[in-house]
Structure 1
Amino acid sequence: MKVTIIGCSGSFPGPESPASCYLVEAEGFRLLLDFGSGSLGVLQRHIGLYDIDAICLTHLHADHCLDLCAYHVARTYGPAAPYPRVPVYAPADAPRRLAAAYGMPEEPGLETAFAFTGLAPGTFEVGPFTVTAAMVNHPVEAYGFRVEHAGRSVAYSGDTGESNDLVKLAADVDMLLCEASLVDKPDLPVNLHLSGRQAAEHAAQAGAGRLVLTHLVPWNDPATVMADACRGGFDGPVELAYSGAVYELT
């Protein structure tokens, strides 16, 4: 299983990275976890424009889903259109919300390019992958994902505050992609985002093999986020995500 960081900037694209988007590949199948602002362009550095086989969206904030609108243009009006519809697993309101973002009527909306399936907590198969979704703590309906293939696993927090369900989702994974949006300080907001320290605490409780800090907000100092994580009690490898990083889970 191969994981490529397409975008890891938190809340909006930064100068070095688009917003959240992660490419997971196995057996020639290409799954996207989130499709945030600016990610479609960078994605084409790694795979062809029409090579996406399925998409999972954690939630419907723009920095995690908005480039689905841009991809609708590519698949609806490209030179060999119409292309087969891509399965999209997302919160149930995704078809309406994304049609509104695109500025089109709800019917047919983006359904000409995508086949939407509403998410709920539980496990389902996507190509060669086993995907488990769990609700996490964010102001909107939001999920974390665990993706497994051939005995390897990666968990992705999406956007979340402190979450026991994320710890369960990430139990013994090879790699945890965990958001670290906040600089650690007293009285952090609850049910919103994590600091680097909190991300490391979740990784330690889950027994993850590796922690990759992501959703890095451009106005934060990355060295401070890393220093925060080093105080979280996780004794495995810790690193900051960056656009273009590749992990081979073998």
Structure 2
Amino acid sequence: MLLTVLGCSGSTPGPRAASSGYLLEAEGFLLCIELGNGVLAELQAVRDPFALDALLFSHLHPDHCADLSALTVLRRYHPAPSRDPRANRLPLYAPREAPDRFVAAYSPDATERATEDLGDIYDFRALTDGTVHIGPFEVTATVAAHPCEAYSFRIVHGGRSLVYTGDTGASRTLDRLAKSADVVLAEASWTHAEDRPPDLHMSGVDAGRLAQTAGTGRLLLTHVPPWTDGAAVLAEAGEEFAGPVQLVVQGESFEI
């Protein structure tokens, strides 16, 4: 698997930094995970957006999905698409409210929203707690500790495994999902403090402990907001995890 970081700024885009977005490739299949603010621009810099084979969203906060509206405009109105978007509806795996939420974000008024469904270019598929196959990938979703319907994912291909936490607080469910994973891509939105709100985000300490407890091979830190000290988050994780740990940078790629 090849993982490319299209965006990794947490909660909001930063200066010249897109929000959450990742491209996962195997056997010529392109899976886009998240499509936050600014991610579509970064995607176009490395791949033809019409070549995407599926979309996967952990949850529906804007920093993870806002650019779906821009992708909709591109897929509906591009004068010369490389792949007919209506003959090739894009599978879109997301929480169950996704069709209504994306229509509301895209449509300008109530009259249009009453008749719009985006089903001409997307094939909406509601996520549940369990395993689905998306192209060559086996994707296991588990409910994440976050204020809205949200999921963490374990993605397996060719005997290799990537765990993407999405936005979540630390939990035993996440520990089990990450067990012996080759790579954990973990959000770390803040430095550690005992008074941090529960079931919202992880700190560098939480991410490091997750990787250490699960016995993962490598830890990649992401979703660090512009106002958080990334170096401090990285140092925290390194104190807890004995293996290799890295703070990802937009544009980087990783072989898994």
Smaller-chain TM-score range?
over 0.9
How far did 1:164 drift?
A: 1.4
Q: 1:74-105: CA deviations, max 9, x gaps?
A: 11111236512100000000000111011251
Alignment match, 1:159: 167
Alignment match, 2:15: 15
Give 1:111's match in structure 2, choosing from 113, 119, 122: 119
Q: 1:181-240: CA deviations, max 9, x gaps?
A: 0121222210000000101101111111100010010111111111221232x1110010
Alignment partner of 1:245 is 2:252: yes
How far did 1:45 drift?
A: 1.6
Secondary structure of the residue aligned to 1:133 is strand
Q: 1:115-150: CA deviations, max 9, x gaps?
A: 100000101101111111010100000001111110
How far did 1:73 drift?
A: 0.7
| Contact preservation (8 Å) 1:8, 1:243 | yes
Amino acid aligned to 2:149:
E
Alignment match, 2:243: 236
How far did 1:107 drift?
A: 3.5
Q: Relative to structure 1, is the Cα distance of residues 190 and 128 closer, same or farther in structure 2, using a 3 angstrom cutoff?
A: same
- For structure 2, the 5+ residue unaligned runs are none
Amino acid aligned to 2:123:
A
Secondary structure of the residue aligned to 1:60 is coil
Q: Distance in 2 between matches of 1:135 and 1:106?
A: 30
Percent identity, aligned pairs only, is 47
Q: Distance in 1 between matches of 2:76 and 2:201?
A: 35
Query: TM-score, normalised on structure 2?
Result: 0.94
Q: Distance in 1 between matches of 2:173 and 2:32?
A: 22
Amino acid aligned to 2:209:
E
Q: Distance in 1 between matches of 2:68 and 2:125?
A: 15
Secondary structure of the residue aligned to 1:112 is coil
Alignment match, 2:216: 208
Q: Distance in 2 between matches of 1:230 and 1:174?
A: 17
Alignment match, 1:28: 28
Q: Distance in 1 between matches of 2:116 and 2:27?
A: 32
Q: Distance in 2 between matches of 1:172 and 1:17?
A: 31
Q: Relative to structure 1, is the Cα distance of residues 106 and 191 closer, same or farther in structure 2, using a 3 angstrom cutoff?
A: farther
Report 1:83-98 matches (<5 A).
Answer: 83=85, 84-98=88-102
How far did 1:38 drift?
A: 0.7
Alignment match, 1:168: 176
Q: Distance in 2 between matches of 1:181 and 1:158?
A: 11
Stretch of structure 1 that moved more, 22-31 or 7-16: 7-16
Query: TM-score, normalised on structure 1?
Result: 0.96
- For structure 1, the 5+ residue unaligned runs are none
Q: Relative to structure 1, is the Cα distance of residues 137 and 85 closer, same or farther in structure 2, using a 3 angstrom cutoff?
A: same
Alignment match, 1:78: 78
CA RMSD of aligned residues (A): 1.2
How far did 1:168 drift?
A: 1.3
Q: Distance in 2 between matches of 1:214 and 1:16?
A: 16
Q: Distance in 2 between matches of 1:206 and 1:56?
A: 24
